[in-house]
Structure 1
Amino acid sequence: MTESKGTGSSSTQKVKTGSKGAGVMLIAALMTGYSVVYMDKSMISAAIIPISSQFHLDTGQTGLIMSMFFLAYSIMQIPCGWLADRFGAKRVLMASMIIIAIFSYLFGIVSGLALFIVIRFGAGLGHGGYPPSCSKAIAENFPQERRTFVQSLILSTSGIGGILAYTLGAQLINHNWRIAYAVLGSLYLVAFLLIWIFVSDGKKDDKPAQAAVQTQAEADDKPKFSTVITNRNVIVLFIAMFLINIVLYGNMSWMPSYITKTFHLTVGQAGYILAFNSIFGTVATIFSGKLLSKFFLHKERPATIGSVLIVAALIVAFVLSKNLVVSIILMIFLSMFSTLVFTSIFTWPHKIMDARVIGSAIGIVNTGGTLGGFVAPMTIGYLVKLAGGSFTPAFFFLAAMAACVAVTVLFVKIPKQKKD
């Protein structure tokens, strides 16, 4: 598959939801699911504090619990991307919500390190289906020129999920972390119902449309999965996503523990600070989508490199700061620039890849991200343990990973733009 195929089918794409209102409800349903997914990812970093205290777990063990979730997440990304391309996004989205709901309920009732690891691994299997099938749903229902904005709008739920995790989630955890996970499981069921009602069955809808607009030659020319997984841009973006997610999930997983220890805060107080930070993350994601769709259109590489080098500098400044107000300001800017980098890398395939295999492409690229999520919590936990409880070496490691992203994206091959 050549990169120039990225816009090959865009002229035949249109919103299949039948009306503007239906399109809005489809986006709302996908955003609801993503909000709960991100709430889950963020909430574990707060829940791990009382869990580690109750069951006498060290940073290495708690890091392992968080990392095993991302290992399972990584395993399922590519298979679920293929399933979304093969059977349609809606089926995979619904299955993901049900699986995660079950394991959320289970996490709230089990006890012991081994069971925590197994249950979080199971939850990760469910999570693996959501990002690629969500991207597939976008490709099935929106024209190519709108996909970056719609994708970034949906990704803004990372901030909404963070707000939910650090307000509702943190307060429930302060009261009883087991109740918090029962509530989380129920929220997944709500998301399942919204997806069932408002997300169209794109696979079914595509058949008459494809028959009308595709020739047999075009159908025969559809790239094979083996071609997608060996595509240069897919491989480069896989590595870039791996590195930036080490930074993102390293921060997300250990930030509550770091600020509660460094500034002597309660989980509830830390939760409010992190919720405030998540508001800026939400705004940054939406703003990033507009920047990448308009101002930085076809300039994704310099935008990504500049932003990620700022991220590296902010991480160093953050860990060296011992003033709470200064640290909060640095955290906010770190969140905003990290979000721009993540959004740029995650939405890049929509601009340079064939829409017919976008589920598989996003699945592969995001596997890099989830592997980064697997490596980060465990690595940070052991670095903190080796440093006798100090987070400084761990944050310097995250800064180095951010700098590596800048080098990696230099190798993205930008397709030549066709002149009208």
Structure 2
Amino acid sequence: MGGGASIELGAYVGNFSAGLVGGLSFVNDGGSLISEFSEKKIGLEAGFTFDKNILDFLPEWLGIRPNAALFADFYSAEGYRSESKKIIGRKEKTDGLAFIGEAAIFIDFINMLKTESLHFIPTLGYNYTFRVEEDEGLLHSSRLSLGVRMVYTPTRVDYDEWLASLDHGEAGSLTVSAPTRAKKFTPDGDGVEDTVIFDVTHDAAEHGGLASWELRVYDPGNNLFWRQKGTEEIETPFTWTGESLSGAEVESGCLYQYVWYVKANDGSDGFIPGLISTGIMIKEHDGVLTFSLSSIQFGPDSSEFDNISKEQAQRNYELFDEVAEILERYAGYNVTVEGHANNVTGTEREHIEELLPLSQARAETVKRELVKRGIKAERITPIGKGSSAMVTRLRADWWKNRRVEFIMTKAEE
């Protein structure tokens, strides 16, 4: 009989995983010559998970993970070196070190057992092992493995939760001011409002001096987008380029919330929230101009602006005004308006029966609003794409899937 176990401590960065692995195993009555065998191994492994985000034909609950590992294996074996030694009953015990390389393919059953912070991933694997021993040379073998990966993700603290946590306590409050100079932040490299400039002032000097400061920027989905902090005096003017912690860029036509937090040496603190409005950023490729707006708000399961706030409706109208100005500026271009939606269930039924007609109706609503603003109807072609071109599978970023894309091509003369 025999058994074994291994444990891995590692980290995920996107779909890439890497970790430190340790394991032990034993065999009793393992064969005609070797009666007992045990090993302890430690090493490094790395893998990459291909999920529905990368291979669209995969179901939401399935991931395919190629994996490679290198181990140092400390083993102990007891038995007979040969049949003749077995006949005379001369057992020997050998301790040694072997180096192991392992290639594996794992099937991960993802999105099945989850809590807010913990994700349990049942895993089925096929492992092929290359083993180098001093006496035996190169050996190889294969095996099937079954296990569970436990992934911990720190609980997300959104904008509202962080604001609520900023309690002045008994020490008192500071006065903080941080207005921005950008009216429409557009980091597109044209030299106009490519950065956000904050003019930060505070009265920490009256409270024993500055102890620390922090700037947080949250995206339209209420996710932490950018964070910077320090203990030195805040550089004024303070510049932010619009890049996120992961290197992503801001989206066109969106509102990003920010908070400046300042703490003094006597324990006093203060904060000031605000909004950064991004303009529409046009991209060009092979003569085709494109931009995307995930900030146009529709009513739930509706192509109209019902059941949204007056502020959201007003924001829509301002965006349509801005789009109409762009189309007037590019009067020699026709535009395809693509409606895109988020597939909550991940099913083809939702895509075909619900999202295709909904996204088509929303694209036609956008066309109607642009025609109201003087754009000729024959220049605009509305198309509903449903969930056929989702940009993310992450729940926190679903807002990016609900978008309207504008594709501008030169009109035929």
Fold agreement, TM-score > 0.5:
no
TM-score scaled by length of structure 2: 0.22
Which is greater in Rg?
2
In proportion to residue count, which structure has more strand? Answer: 2
After TM superposition, the score normalised by the length of structure 1 is: 0.22
Question: Normalized per residue, which structure has more helix?
Answer: 1
